[in-house]
Structure 1
Amino acid sequence: MSDLPYLTGYPADLVDRVRHLMAQGRIGPWLESRYPDRHAIQTDKALYQYVSELKQRYLKNTSALAKVYFDNRQNPIKGTLGTNTFVSRPQGGKLKSKNEIRIAALFRAAPEAFLKMIVIHELAHLKEKEHNKSFYQLCCHMDPLYHQWEFDMRVWLTWREQTSLHHTDGQ
């Protein structure tokens, strides 16, 4: 399965279907038909607003977000599409906490569903630190299509990688 690293862990028949569609050059058109529109969230300020609105809707009682931004250092090949960091520091006589969410910059060019999936994933970490059953239940509570979007986003990453390899090989 190393030729499709983003799809590791999915059922073999599903991965084989993706592999077949890729071989036929049909993944790009399939993704475009499912996700024809790109989002308009291009700045860190717009991203902060987008994330804050989702947080307010689903996670009102969680810690405030100090920063939210697109990060060029997030690398899907290394398995990082977004991060949520939490730091507590003593300040005066109190303990101050700070949450930051970083989203891979490649999601500026993604369909909104994929950006929303990553944001939901990182917001869920405000309540659930581990990727356990409760974590994924919370993700699905925030959007019932979470798992479908995650799979489709992994197909999109695979397609992007394949497309960029063909362009760098001169094909």
Structure 2
Amino acid sequence: MKPINYLAGYPPQLQQQATELLHSGKLAEHLHTKYPQSHPVQSDKALYSYVCELKNDFMRNSPPLSQVRYDSKLNVLQQALGMHTFQSRVQGSKLKAHNTITVAALFKQAPAEFLRMIVVHELAHFKEKDHNKAFYQLCQHMEPDYHQLELDTRLWLLCRDHAKGLLLPG
């Protein structure tokens, strides 16, 4: 299988450093030391409550969430860690919004900070559809360490794949 490059958008120097740490075994140790706690959000019901709480803290005026769930079929190999869907439907004379967030089931075992980063990312898509400057500003408003958490999440995924033998040596 071809190596998954979670770090494709990052500078070559950072990619090289991550690769060296990965192969020396120090990257996983570093991430575990930095993020020792997993989270208690294990069920779809708990995830719904968790997401609604974050949404209510930062996006009170946005439409309510219709569904939030973990999905074991989200394909990390295609960079899908979470998904948001927004549908508008006409019901009589009213326009009803249907907002759904789906999070990859692998985040049940992730550190709490990584789950928060994914949820913040998906919530931000309800206001900003594209990955533009306004989108990332909203992410940082909800989670000030957003960019560092995104990088660390990518490194965690890299370690996870390496441990499972999904990456080619080198």
Q: CA deviation at 1:78?
A: 0.8
Q: CA deviation at 1:75?
A: 1.3
Q: CA deviation at 1:93?
A: 2.1
Query: C-alpha separation between the residues in 2 aligned to 1:50 and 1:4?
Result: 30
- Percent identity, aligned pairs only, is 48
Measured against aligned partners, the alpha-carbon deviations of 1:11-54 in whole angstroms (never above 9, x if no partner) come to: 11111111111121111111110100100100000000000000
- Report the 3-state secondary structure (helix = DSSP H, G, I; strand = E; otherwise coil) of the residue aligned with 1:6: coil
Measured against aligned partners, the alpha-carbon deviations of 1:75-96 in whole angstroms (never above 9, x if no partner) come to: 1111100011011111122111
**AA paired with 2:10?**
Y
Q: Could you tell me which residue of structure 2 aligns to residue 145 of structure 1? A: 145
TM-score normalised by L of structure 2: 0.94
Q: Could you tell me which residue of structure 1 aligns to residue 62 of structure 2? A: 62
- Which consecutive residues of structure 1, in runs of 5 or more, have no partner in the other structure? 167-171
Q: Could you tell me which residue of structure 2 aligns to residue 47 of structure 1? A: 47
- Report the 3-state secondary structure (helix = DSSP H, G, I; strand = E; otherwise coil) of the residue aligned with 2:6: helix
Q: Could you tell me which residue of structure 1 aligns to residue 32 of structure 2? A: 32
* Higher RCO, 1 vs 2 (CA within 8 Å, ≥6 residues apart): 2
Query: C-alpha separation between the residues in 2 aligned to 1:18 and 1:142?
Result: 27
Q: Could you tell me which residue of structure 2 aligns to residue 105 of structure 1? A: 105
**AA paired with 2:64?**
A
- Which consecutive residues of structure 2, in runs of 5 or more, have no partner in the other structure? none
Q: CA deviation at 1:98?
A: 0.4
Computed over aligned residues only, the root mean square deviation of the Cα atoms, in angstroms, reads 1.1
Query: C-alpha separation between the residues in 2 aligned to 1:31 and 1:39?
Result: 15
- Report the 3-state secondary structure (helix = DSSP H, G, I; strand = E; otherwise coil) of the residue aligned with 1:160: helix
TM-score normalised by L of structure 1: 0.93
